[in-house]
């Protein structure tokens, strides 16, 4: 089996890139939490980025009618209600931003863990 | 790299909040500083305003202190004829610093500073994990 043909490593790489980009956008929101007129920003949802890059996400395929066909809800593109605005026009809600950062953190952890496990499988196969 | 950017952005936020805290310290330290001569103006409260600034080389949106301005509100008058700075009628102008306002501002600066620090710690965690992938 060719590791590069699986697509999971590639997918993980793209996801990590996206998480890094998101982290810097969220950091800018927090840093500008007292800047007059600053509006909260966020990056495009990962699913859109993935679709535009032409990569196909690996999805479970139903090969038997008895398989469950559940789908994982993707809430990364959820439109949050615009936070209230301070008198100086600033729209950053620190708790909302920190929540997003925590989410980025745990997503990153999940992806790196997955990546390592996956590489570990190949190592195992190679007997190292 | 994006995570390096995030670190620099958080650092700029912390720096801006530090400047804010410095100005608050100046205001609080000088809240009783009156003028030296009769009728002279006392210490005038300073204010800080922030501005976002795009670093053209890297495209980072940093934050900086736009201006340290002055509070133009009127000085409270106090009747104290024996004071060296008292005017002809015996009134002394005292600084327009309200310690409650300053303390609240200080709290906010502290919160913003720790939020930036928190982001920095998370970013560092991401970097560390990425490096650990090599092991």
Per-residue model confidence as pLDDT tens digits over A89-111: 888 888 889 999 999 999 999 99
Report the mean per-residue pLDDT for chain A.
Answer: 79
Q: How far apart are CA B48 and CA B36, in angstroms?
A: 26
**DSSP E strands, B60-132:** 61-70, 77-79, 91-93
Q: What is the predicted pLDDT for the residue at B25?
A: 96
The answer to whether the CB of A56 falls within 8 A of the CB of A43 is no
Contact state of A31 with B111 under an 8 Å Cβ cutoff: no
- At A63, list the tokens: 């090969």
Which chain A residue has its CA at the smallest distance from B130's CA? Answer: A112
B133 — contact with chain A (CB < 8 Å)?
yes
**Chain B partners of A101 at a C-beta cutoff of 8 Å?**
118-119, 122
- CA angle at B69 for the pair B35 and B118, rounded to the nearest 5°: 120
Kindly report the backbone phi and psi dihedral angles of residue A2, in degrees, each rounded to the nearest multiple of 5, phi listed first.
Answer: -90, 120
Residue A71 predicted with pLDDT over 60: no
Closest Cα to residue B126, out of A121, A15, A41, A8? Answer: A15
Helix (H) or strand (E) holding B14: helix B2-29
Tokens, residue B110:
């502290």
Task: Give the pLDDT confidence score for residue B23 in this predicted structure.
Answer: 95
In this prediction the ipTM stands at 0.81
pLDDT tens by residue, A28-62: 999 999 888 888 888 888 888 888 776 555 555 66
Q: Which of B3, B60, B63 shows the shortest C-beta gap to A23?
A: B3
Q: Is the pTM of this model over 0.80?
A: no
Q: Do A31 and B13 count as a contact with CB atoms less than 8 A apart?
A: yes
Would an 8 Å CB–CB cutoff place B6 in contact with chain A? yes
Residue B30, both tokens: 């000088």
Between helix B99-132 and helix A8-31 the angle, nearest 10°, is 170
Nearest to B60 by CA among A88, A106, A23, A86: A23
Q: How confident is the model at residue B27 (pLDDT cuts 50, 70, 90)?
A: very high
For B9, the closest of A21, A27, A102 (CB atoms) is A27
Whether B2 and A16 lie within 8 Å, measured CB to CB: no
Token code pair at residue A61: 């395929």
């Amino acid at each position: 089996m060719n590791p590069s043909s699986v697509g999971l490593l590639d997918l993980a790489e793209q996801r990590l890139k996206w998480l890094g980009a998101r982290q810097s956008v969220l950091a800018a929101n927090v840093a500008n939490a007292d800047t007059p007129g600053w509006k909260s920003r966020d990056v495009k949802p990962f699913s859109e980025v993935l679709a535009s890059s032409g990569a196909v996400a690996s999805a479970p395929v139903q090969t038997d009618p008895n398989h469950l066909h559940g789908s994982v809800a993707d809430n990364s593109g959820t439109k949050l209600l615009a936070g209230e605005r301070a008198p100086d026009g600033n729209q950053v809600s620190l708790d909302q931003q920190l929540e997003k950062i925590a989410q980025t953190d745990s997503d990153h952890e999940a992806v790196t863990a997955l990546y390592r496990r996956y590489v570990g499988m190949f190592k195992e196969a190679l007997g190292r | 790299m994006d995570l390096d950017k995030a670190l620099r952005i958080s650092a700029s936020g912390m720096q801006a909040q530090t400047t804010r805290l410095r100005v608050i310290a100046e205001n609080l330290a000088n809240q009783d500083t009156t003028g030296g001569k009769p009728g002279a103006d006392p210490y005038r409260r300073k204010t800080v305003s922030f501005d976002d600034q795009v670093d053209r080389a890297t495209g980072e949106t940093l934050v900086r202190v736009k201006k340290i301005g002055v509070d133009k509100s009127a000085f409270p008058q106090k009747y104290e004829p024996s004071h060296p700075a008292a005017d002809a009628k015996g009134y002394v102008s005292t600084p327009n610093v309200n310690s409650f306002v300053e303390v609240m501002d200080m709290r906010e600066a502290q919160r913003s500073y720790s939020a930036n620090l928190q982001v920095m710690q998370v970013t560092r965690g991401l970097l560390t994990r990425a490096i650990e992938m090599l092991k």
